[in-house]
Chain A
């Protein structure tokens, strides 16, 4: 696999440290996989609902199973954590479907404050990116690609664009998003530290 490695020690070593009772290794495990697990949970569960419970449960179970020596191939720790995540998502989904048959559906829980804050910030960044784009055609490219989920070929054909130009628009927008979002994260960190 051609992967840019995440910081931290090798995964087999991480498993060994957790089994040896090293508490800092448990934090390292969470630090290493936290963001990826969150992405997968968000992708699979569009409603905010019990995402957080699943996230917590993934790491509780992972640490418990590692301590109990249930990870037989420590070098495949990533696959192990991924399987746990998928199983818990499936279980939650089955439970939700079962509950929906048994009782009237409950309204989904409101997004928490962090979710709302992130949503506002993303909207603010998107507005800025849209305002910075050179033409209304480029704005349309972003809308049609990301929101209407049209194929690149269709967008290019209908707007008379070369795919290279479309890719440049998308690439610039993502780069700008990254830049503005990182600034937001830095700003927030400074506020939290104060």
Chain B
């Protein structure tokens, strides 16, 4: 599958619409693993579709650009426009202002994008015994995911597991519930690196019975260090 074929047959759009044959889909997915151009193209198609869908769902008609400009200019200059046109333009202006206010509010409430979408570091933790050097995690300067794999023996009667991240003071930093062991007996937890500052921490693993009762089954002390 090459770019010309992809473009001529609208492959990126049809991929999201589920209109590709099984062979075409497989070939296209293999192609985007190595092709940043087509990957970007398929992301644009997805984003535009999702955006249009949200607009349709919200059932809000778009504000005509010209009217919006006139309304904004009129408002800025303090002009009054008589009659129905004025009412429509003012209403559009009020709506636009409300929309802008909501967006500003959303912006101020915004959290940093989840780092796992950008990068992640994988660590495998061992149970620390006696004076052994604790497990170590290197905290990057820019946010990313810390993925920690814990090897566990299945606890008798446990249906699910939870992992609690504790600071040296004993304060709970984060908690991940409803976890399951994978086929290899690993429990995998992910935390944003922004939760960690250099210092000592403990990961406490608890098994959860069918009644929801938690029992501690292992602890993994570790040290967070700045990434060199």
Residues of A at under 8 Å CB distance from B? 1-7, 23, 26-27, 30-31, 33-36, 38-40, 42-43, 52-53, 55-57, 59-60, 63, 78-79, 81-82, 86, 112-114, 117, 119-120, 122-132, 139, 142-143, 145-147, 149, 152, 170, 173-174, 177-178, 181, 188, 191-192
Identify which of B1, B68, B107, B114 contacts A131 (C-beta below 8 A).
B68
A119 and B50 contact, CB distance less than 8 A: yes
A34 and B29 contact, CB distance less than 8 A: no
Identify which of B39, B41, B113, B121 contacts A35 (C-beta below 8 A).
B39
B119 and A31 contact, CB distance less than 8 A: yes
Identify which of A2, A114, A127, A177 contacts B113 (C-beta below 8 A).
A114
Of B103, B120, B188, chain A has the most CB atoms within 10 Å of the CB of B120
Min distance, Cβ A118 to any Cβ of chain B, angstroms: 8
B116 and A56 contact, CB distance less than 8 A: yes
A192 and B58 contact, CB distance less than 8 A: no
* CB nearest neighbor in A for B12: A174
B34 and A120 contact, CB distance less than 8 A: no
Asked if B75 is an interface residue, CB under 8 A from chain A, the answer is no
Contacts of A124 in B (CB 8 A): 51, 103
- Beyond A26-B122, A36-B33, A36-B39, 8 extra complex contacts between A and B, CB < 8 Å: A1-B31, A5-B34, A26-B121, A38-B117, A42-B46, A114-B111, A130-B55, A131-B62
**Contact residues, B77-131 vs A (CB, 8 A):** 103, 106-107, 110-114, 116-122
Instruction: Pick the 10 closest A-B CB pairs, nearest first.
Output: A126-B51, A122-B51, A123-B54, A2-B2, A3-B35, A78-B33, A4-B37, A130-B62, A131-B62, A3-B34
A39 and B51 contact, CB distance less than 8 A: no
Min distance, Cβ A13 to any Cβ of chain B, angstroms: 14
Of B1, B48, B110, B111, chain A has the most CB atoms within 10 Å of the CB of B48
Of A6, A30, A36, chain B has the most CB atoms within 10 Å of the CB of A36
Contacts of B31 in A (CB 8 A): 1, 3
CA distance A39 to B30 in the complex (A): 12
B122 and A125 contact, CB distance less than 8 A: no
Min distance, Cβ B190 to any Cβ of chain A, angstroms: 6
Contacts A126-B52, A126-B54; is A149 near B117 (CB within 8 Å)?
A: no
B120 and A30 contact, CB distance less than 8 A: yes
Contacts of A1 in B (CB 8 A): 1-2, 31, 34-35
* CB nearest neighbor in B for A78: B33
Contacts of A31 in B (CB 8 A): 119
Contacts A60-B122, A177-B44; is A82 near B30 (CB within 8 Å)?
A: yes
A146 and B49 contact, CB distance less than 8 A: yes
CA distance A56 to B17 in the complex (A): 26
Min distance, Cβ B178 to any Cβ of chain A, angstroms: 10
CA distance A36 to B190 in the complex (A): 20
B49 and A147 contact, CB distance less than 8 A: yes
B51 and A56 contact, CB distance less than 8 A: no
B106 and A132 contact, CB distance less than 8 A: no
A192 and B143 contact, CB distance less than 8 A: yes
Contact with A along B52-73 (1 / 0, CB 8 A): 1111101010111100100000
